[in-house]
Structure 1
């Protein structure tokens, strides 16, 4: 039984890696967990070389752009990130906000992630917003 379970886990892990945003089968989640998607969005706060997106501005952005699309809840964490600026050829380190969203598979919710990222880039003159989506087992 142990070996069969491990083979199944390895096969599912490999398949999820190859497929990308594939959902987990319900049988992979231990009760009371349910298969859902876990999305993380990383929002850089610099505008140019200075901190430009204040806590108040990010709170307003969350209220206007994220919460209406994901009213069931979210988590916001202060963080620090880094990325390579391809235009200037150097590593940029900046304060960031990491937003975690958990939701059932839904094409409209997936599209909402892109809409949120685009709204942030437009509003705060950002080059990019990192969006990562992965299947997960969730219980509340």
Structure 2
């Protein structure tokens, strides 16, 4: 008997492993790609905002930001209006890393969709949205 949950878990693990392998090629760890992505949408975000978007613990984000700051990818400043708040910005080096990351995301997308017709992709997304909706209403 086949189970949707089991297949989703297996697929998710495969995707994470592929992404982790590709990220290591540009000296990034899993999770750092998400941080770069959200900063690319809006540079200069508070730690609290990023914790919410990334759905991780504050301590996890703190370690990630510290590591990426030491590597020259990010800058962290105190908010002028509230000195208790840190605001995170991309550096020029971080923006270059984001360009490398965009290439990886495109290549992975091509790998994932290899051999799928436009109709199969459309059906896949439709099914994924239904499953997501089922989970959100559980």
TM over 0.5: no
For the aligned pair, the TM-score class normalised by the smaller chain equals under 0.3
Question: Which structure carries more strand by proportion?
Answer: 1
How high is the TM-score relative to the length of structure 2?
A: 0.26
How high is the TM-score relative to the length of structure 1?
A: 0.26
State the structure with bigger RCO (CA 8 A, min sep 6), 1 or 2: 1
